Amino acid sequence: MTSVIVCDDHGIIRSGIARILETTPDFQLMASPSTGTRLLETLQHVKPDLLVLDIRLTDCSGLDLLGQISIVAPETRVVMLSMYGAKGYIDKAKARGARGYITKECLDEELVSVLHAVMRDEGFISFPSATPNTGSREKSSEANIDALSSRELEVMKLIASGLTNTEIGEELTVSPRTVESHRASIQRKLMIRTRAELARVARDAGLLD
């Protein structure tokens, strides 16, 4: 029996993964903390075989937790969970010791398949698979995309999908001025000047997949 901890700040995600694990005979859910702080506290007492860890928690970055997790629970294999399949995130997760990377849009069987593959020591497993960058400009943009906040990533995806500031504001329940502020911040952080460039970076980073 493979013991699992799931750490995500969204209750619906935790309960969804718990349901999947409960219907898979060889997995046993041990705990489901909602923050990085609670996760580290849990790992002091429970050392699971697998940890499914959200890349962005309310109190910290899941990527930043990987170093602490490797000290507290060195035998635990970590699979990162994210809204986005950006190659920059996947590369960083791999470099920091994660054993896998999955997006929240994956199907039940895809999640189970990744967890099984990680337990079989099949190397670093990502779903969807990362595609290689082509050209230095894309590398630069994806290397910086993790500097964006969760809300900025949402805004970036919606802008790249062709929505106006007003439409994005209605979607996110904020004012068009707030959307424009996020857009300016995104372009500053990624060192891009136009919406067309923003859309290209979002596409290359996998935000529109």
pLDDT(198) > 80:
yes
Domain boundary among 70, 92, 127: 127
Which pLDDT score, from 0 to 100, does residue 81 have?
Answer: 92
- Of 39-43, 136-140, 184-188, 197-201, the one with minimum mean pLDDT is 136-140
Please write the tens of the pLDDT for every residue from 43-79.
Answer: 999 999 999 999 988 898 899 999 999 999 999 999 9
**How far is the CA of 32 from the CAs of 79, 99, 111, 172, 190, in angstroms?**
14, 19, 16, 27, 34
Domain boundary among 78, 94, 127: 127
Q: Determine the distance from the C-alpha atom of residue 175 to the mean position of all C-alpha atoms in its chain, rounded to a whole number.
A: 27
Instruction: Please count the structural domains in the chain.
Output: 2
Torsion of CA 183, 185, 191, 197, to 10 degrees: -10
Which pLDDT score, from 0 to 100, does residue 192 have?
Answer: 83
Which pLDDT score, from 0 to 100, does residue 128 have?
Answer: 62
The answer to whether residue 104 is domain-embedded is yes
| 21 and 53 assigned to the same domain | yes
The β-bridge relationship of strands 50-54 and 2-7 is parallel
The β-bridge relationship of strands 100-103 and 125-127 is parallel
pLDDT(123) > 80:
yes
Please write the tens of the pLDDT for every residue from 3-49.
Answer: 999 999 989 889 999 999 988 889 999 999 999 999 999 999 999 99
| 103 and 154 assigned to the same domain | no
| 166 and 113 assigned to the same domain | no
Domain boundary among 127, 161, 189: 127
The β-bridge relationship of strands 50-54 and 100-103 is unpaired
Return the structure tokens found at 191.
């060192």
Which pLDDT score, from 0 to 100, does residue 82 have?
Answer: 87
CATH code, domain carrying 27: 3.40.50.2300
CATH code, domain carrying 177: 1.10.10.10
**How far is the CA of 128 from the CAs of 52, 55, 84, 125, 209, in angstroms?**
16, 15, 10, 9, 9
* Mean pLDDT, rounded, for 128-137: 46
| Angstrom distance (rounded) from CA 80 to CA 86 | 12
Residue of higher predicted confidence among 105 and 120: 120
Which pLDDT score, from 0 to 100, does residue 131 have?
Answer: 45
- Find, among 181, 184, 202, the residue nearest to 193 by Cα: 184
Question: Where in the sequence is the domain holding 34, given as residue range(s)?
Answer: 2-127
8 Å CB contact between 93 and 63 = yes
| Angstrom distance (rounded) from CA 60 to CA 187 | 23
Report the predicted TM-score, pTM, of the whole model to 2 decimal places: 0.67
